[in-house]
Amino acid sequence: MTLADRFPVLHAPTRWEWGGLDVQFSTELPPDELVTNIHVVCFVGDRIVLCRDARDIWFLPGGTREAGESIEDCVIRELIEEAGAELTGPIHPIGAHYATTDRATPYRPWQPHPHKAWLWCTADVTLTGPPTNPDDAEQILEVATFPLPEALTRAARDGHHLPDLLTLAAELHPH
């Protein structure tokens, strides 16, 4: 049985209306120059880190890459900003949503257009303090760790593909 058969919602072509994006998940990793966003399924032991914002939505830490920023530097910055977390081990890419936008211009001037990719990774982290909550980013109200079943339920409100993604991440993450 293929991963697409096991995780059909994750692998189904879909539309992310908020970004004018048609997306398709793949475990084939994108070239670095296509990666505009990186999100991390963070593990503290066997628990998953989720962040809650003012919309009362629980989501995975991560975000948009800055101009010239490496994948690792983006992950380190986003973990501090959104989760108050630091890496305790390597970053493990597990797949990406390949995206094509119908917007006339890129989200940020330095990003590839119209094709780009959202990279999904796993990593072990430690929670070291409150998120830094920069003014130009989501304002995080709470950071917590959850066992996988509860993380699946909470994260599903941020995207119907996330329960499949979290399950895949838990299976692929080296412990």
Share above pLDDT 90 across residues of the chain, in percent, rounded to a whole number: 93
Residue 135: both structure tokens together: 């003014």
Confidence of residue 119 (pLDDT cuts 50, 70, 90): very high
Confidence of residue 73 (pLDDT cuts 50, 70, 90): very high
CATH code for the domain of 127? 3.90.79.10
Q: What is the pLDDT of residue 90?
A: 97
Q: Give residue 45's region: left, alpha or beta (phi > 0; psi -120 to 50).
A: left
Q: What is the pLDDT of residue 163?
A: 97
Give the count of beta carbons closer than 10 Å to the beta carbon of residue 57.
15
Confidence of residue 124 (pLDDT cuts 50, 70, 90): very high
Looking at every residue in the chain, the average pLDDT score rounds to: 96
Query: C-alpha angle 46/40/119, rounded to 5°?
Result: 140
Residue 2: both structure tokens together: 């293929």
How confident is the model over 47-68, as pLDDT tens digits?
A: 999 999 999 999 999 999 999 9
| Domain count of the fold of the chain | 1
Q: What is the pLDDT of residue 174?
A: 83
Pairing of strands 35-44, 115-127: parallel
Q: Domain range holding 63?
A: 3-172
Q: What is the pLDDT of residue 135?
A: 84
Cα 61 to Cα 8: distance, rounded to the nearest angstrom: 24
User: For 100-123, what is the mean pLDDT?
Assistant: 96
Cα 115 to Cα 122: distance, rounded to the nearest angstrom: 24
Cβ–Cβ < 8 Å for 77, 56:
no
How confident is the model over 154-166, as pLDDT tens digits?
A: 999 999 999 999 9
